Copies of this chain bind each other. A is one copy, B any other.
């Protein structure tokens, strides 16, 4: 005998597929749906379907957007492009209120281990944008890990012949963190890139 009747088990199964959701959490979510109003559940289901129906990728930057061109690409400075791995990284970068450039989503990194080469991420589109829009600076904001670093290096080598300035987010100790707990690679970078005060 299954622990729950079929429709409940099936809903738990779908909740479990969400990132970092275990059996117990999925069960709590399913019970929430059961215990709350029918209209709320219907609206929830509709919200899932609407997102799949309406959300596309911005033709310029690759970010999620309901329009062909996302609001950021429509309004901001196209001469400054920040390259990120995933759309969710844009959410983080947007915390920097002063940044008025646009973004370019790669959708991944070059990763020989996962069989992703330069043609599997949106590098060609980046080169086209840089040529087409007369971009002045490309900021590489890929993750500071092996694959992110390698991807940033690879792209910068392709960009430099186009006469565009390529920069990388500074690496070092995080604000509010504790030097005691910083790892040695981070500390080494912080030392290398130390600034006069």
Q: Spell out A's residues near B (CB within 8 Å).
A: 1, 3-8, 10-11, 13-14, 17-20, 27-34, 38, 40-55, 64-67, 70-71, 87-88, 91, 94
Contact = CB atoms under 8 A, between A and B. Distances in A.
Given A11-B47, A11-B50, A34-B52, 12 more contacts: A1-B71, A4-B64, A5-B64, A5-B65, A5-B66, A7-B53, A13-B47, A30-B51, A31-B87, A38-B52, A41-B49, A45-B45
19 contacts: A1-B71, A3-B94, A4-B91, A5-B66, A6-B66, A7-B54, A7-B66, A8-B55, A10-B47, A11-B48, A13-B47, A14-B44, A18-B32, A20-B28, A30-B51, A33-B51, A34-B51, A34-B55, A41-B49
B94 A27 contact: no
Nearest to A30: B51
Given A3-B91, A28-B19, A91-B3, A51 B14 contact: no
A10 B10 CA distance: 24
A3 B27 CA distance: 30
Contacts of A34: 51-52, 55, 64
Interface of A is mostly: helix
Number of copies: 2
A17 B27 CA distance: 15
Contacts of A13: 47
Contacts of A17: 32, 40
Contacts of A46: 45
A194 B115 CA distance: 62
Contacts of A94: 3
Contacts of A49: 41-42, 45
A122 to B, nearest CB: 15
A49 to B, nearest CB: 5
A67 B6 CA distance: 11
Contacts of A53: 7
